[in-house]
A and B are shown apart, each in its own frame.
Chain A
């Protein structure tokens, strides 16, 4: 068997390892376009703050890891796929044949339509190469403008704050992390950042970027103000890398559309990770989640199905995120915004920056979001994904949402009710 895996991020690496485990004799290659050993984008924020060196971002740390597993690493960019003859073409003109192919090419930042966005000194924070550029420019005291306070923007925000730069954030929506936090908690994060000395402009767009002398940039905002900066970071969203599939006949929508076995419209081709439009656990809809836990779960399921036939159904991933904004930890799970006809529970403590919201459908938890809580938050995932019937505990949670761990112990382990 010849397995090719395209994309050497977390999805590609986990899939290649899983393929090896399930098919010890197969021929497995992992093809990725970036020059570094396979690394984790998620670790970049910690590289920016010196918590780790570049090596600390590598997905596998032991020397010769891939050689020992007999996984061949190939540094090339795939330019097209010839589905008729089961082969792919890389930009050095080489052709490689496969029996089964996994596409794990991830996503990349979108370029917002802002005049001047291509000026030197404007960077994404997506690759290790971006991180090296940011480190050069984000010196203590430098002025930095961050465009976009979504999930990735806010992660980068924390790293920049720790680098002691003068930080200005520009976000189009009316609050921070709008896809993770509602009005109350999103604005608590904003207030927290402002207290820490970050200048935050919500409901505001960056309208243009001018290159001034000596590498300085000027960002003009829709509120009439402008900020001079040494570095502008653009974090306004991501989109899947699917262009090389244009002629392949593989069906794409927002990402590569897969079925419940993570197989694409072509029977020998599977997809996983940020590039994959797979099933959402809560809604049953097919979406691009673009988060690490989903990437890894896709990879495991896809690899199993590639080797053993369709025995492992993908039941869908729970969309979830955790974020640290200059010491204020927030998390969101599933349908944190609620469902029609559902009920909710909410705890708001603006003064101590604590917030918890739980969403129910009948007596089952379907979503939640939290702020300022770091203990036992994972149990929210467990309660949602196991679809545990909460019975009388739903009412108790509506009175005191902080009792989620107790609700889990009582409902799932039945160690409490039956004395």
Chain B
């Protein structure tokens, strides 16, 4: 059974430990600007919503890539960017309707969540269990999936 990130914004306090852990794991620095998971702040509502790639089945980023630089990780189901092959054209960043593939000008390549290869560091870092790594069926990812389907041109293909 493949697992997914499950996010419960109700539990998020906006402490940004997930962003710190992500940037340390993936970029080797504590710099929330480099995190692949991002906590969005809603001042008026007083809420925080962590958000990152849902590893959606449609994988627009992967299909749009002109050089086959995004592949499915057979072990985790995540869609991974093969940095050596990425030319930095950014087409995946506009193809992803969730806005979760982003360009990193320093490396000239794109970055996205790869579930840390099956041991997501944001989950370990979150002190309130707002982010958990659970069986894919139990994540309440349905809403994201519905959104994904609405955007899909090729439903049924």
List the interface of chain A (C-beta within 8 A of B). Answer: 10, 14, 18, 40, 42-43, 45-46, 51-52, 56-61, 292-293, 296-297, 300-301, 303-304, 311-312, 314-317, 320-322, 324, 327, 329, 331, 333, 374-382, 385-387, 404-406, 408-410, 412-417, 419
Contact = CB atoms under 8 A, between A and B. Distances in A.
Interface stretch (B13-21, B97-105, B121-129, B131-139): B97-105
Contacts of A304: 154, 156-157
B143 A292 contact: no
Q: Which among B87, B102, B151 has the highest number of chain A CB atoms within 10 Å?
A: B87
A416 B49 contact: yes
Contacts of A58: 67
Contact of A57 (B67, B103, B150, B151): B67
Contact of A43 (B9, B66, B100): B66
Interface in B61-85: 63-64, 66-68, 85
Contact of B85 (A61, A301, A413): A61
Interface residues of B, number: 44
B93 interface: yes
B18 to A, nearest CB: 16
Given A10-B66, A300-B157, A311-B156, A385 B89 contact: no
Nearest to B110: A374
B88 interface: yes
A376 B66 contact: no
Contacts of B117: none
A304 B154 CA distance: 9
A14 B85 CA distance: 18
Contact of B87 (A56, A59, A315, A385): A56
A172 B153 CA distance: 36
A33 B156 CA distance: 32
Contacts of B96: 378, 381-382
Contact of A381 (B51, B94, B105): B94
B90 A382 contact: no
A126 B153 CA distance: 28
Contacts of A57: 67
B64 A327 contact: no
Contacts of B101: 378
Interface in B137-157: 143-144, 147, 150-151, 153-157
A377 B157 contact: no
B94 A410 contact: no
